[in-house]
Structure formats: C-alpha cells, structure tokens
Amino acid sequence: MHTVEVPIKDAKNPTTIKFPDRCVNCGKPKSVVMPMKLNMGVEKRGQGVLMDFPVPLCAECEKKEKRVTMVTLVPFLIAGLIFGVIAFIPAMLIAPEGTTPDTLGFPFVFGGLVGMVVGVIGGTIVEFVLKFLFAPAYGQLLLKRPLAILSFFNDSEDVIGLSARFTDKKRSLKVIFENDEVAKEFEKLNKSLA
C-alpha cells in the first residue's frame, strides 16, 4: 500500500489530478474510466463544487469492481429489505391504534420505524460478514471500504485498488493505492501540485 497526499489550495477551484494511463489496480492498459467525485462542501455560483477525478481501470478490474458491489451493496439492500419486512409486520401488529385523527396510522409508522432500524442493522451485519469472506479474493481495500450505511455519510470514494478521502478539513486529498508502481507514477504526474 502506498499513500499519496494531494494538496487542495482552493476549495472553489479544486485541484485537477492526473492518473497514469493504465489501470490503478493491476497496471494493465486502461479500457474504462470510472468517474469519481467528492463534494468540496462549498458552493460556487449557487451550485455545490465537486472534485472530479476519473480513475482508469482495465476491463478485468472493472468486472471485479462490479463484483465487489455485488458482495457489499446488493447484500446490504436485499438483507435489509428482508429483515425490515420481517420486523415491520409484528411491530405493526403489536402497536396500539390511535384514537385521534392524528394518531390513527400509528401502527404503520411504528412498524415502519422498527422495520427500517432492524433492516439497516441486519443488512449491515450481512455485509460485514460477506466482506470478511470475500476479502482474500478482492484485496484489503474491500475490508477498508466503509460499510454501505456509513458510506452514505462518509466523504470518500473507493474503487478496487484505490481509495480517496479528504484530510485536514478538505485541504488535501489522501489517495491510497494498492499498487506501489502505479502510485509512484501518479506522484510523478502530480508533482507540480505540491
């Protein structure tokens, strides 16, 4: 693993970073570019500013990335839905019916709340277990990726072979590579940014 820190001098005009013209994971010639964007947390002309950095991948690594999604996000959603429905029904049935017009739908609201909480917890547990089972096949960054529920609130982007997140109050971007050779090439391409 190799970490490169890219300074960001102006949040309203984020740094443009360049990747080598090959896959960030394995180093083979690129076949696709995965668009990755991070919110800078500021606005310019009434619109949020995004730091855009397209990441090159070979066809094989792109397929792996899609399979990683199948191992993490899809099980989280499916298991969460199943656990949520299973919890919703009994919670709705045991909740007391309201006596005023404002509380008549209370069993559905209570059941929905319980179903959502149980669904998120159940989906997260299933995703957590699957991450450890598939880590040998997909690499260490699979384990370092935030769980699906946390990734909704985390200011980072992860793709197979690479992880990027802000540090120091968005004054720099920390890019972690699994491939040291590609990381060194990335450093040379972006040396003028330092």
State the DSSP string of 41-100: EEEETTEEEEEE--EEE-HHHHHHHHHHHHHHHHHHHHHHHHHHHHHHHHHHHHSPPPSS
* Count of domains forming the chain: 1
**Average pLDDT of every residue of the chain:** 86
Share of the chain above pLDDT 90, in %: 26
pLDDT of residue 160: 81
Which residue segment(s) compose the domain that 188 sits in? 2-193
Confidence of residue 194 (pLDDT cuts 50, 70, 90): low
3-state class of 160 per DSSP?
coil
> What's the pLDDT tens digit per position in 14-59?
878 888 889 998 889 989 998 888 888 888 888 888 888 889 999 9
More confident residue, 113 or 68: 113
Residues 99-120: what's their mean pLDDT?
A: 91
Q: Evaluate whether 5 touches 194 at the Cβ level (below 8 Å).
A: no
Share of the chain above pLDDT 70, in %: 97
Residues 163-187: what's their mean pLDDT?
A: 86
Across the chain, which distance is largest between two alpha carbons, in Å?
70
pLDDT of residue 23: 92
Residue 192 has pLDDT above 80, yes or no: no
The span from the first CA to the last CA of the chain, in angstroms, equals 21
pLDDT of residue 52: 86
> What's the pLDDT tens digit per position in 50-86?
888 889 999 988 888 888 888 888 889 999 999 999 9
Selection from 6, 3, 56 nearest residue 26 by Cα: 56
The Cα 119–Cα 77 span in angstroms is: 9
> What's the pLDDT tens digit per position in 118-147?
999 999 999 999 888 888 877 666 777 788
Q: What's the whole-model pTM score?
A: 0.70
3-state class of 152 per DSSP?
coil
**Side-chain half-sphere of 13: how many Cα atoms within 13 Å?**
2
Residue 89 identity: I
The kind and range of the H/E element at 163 are strand 162-167
pLDDT of residue 83: 96
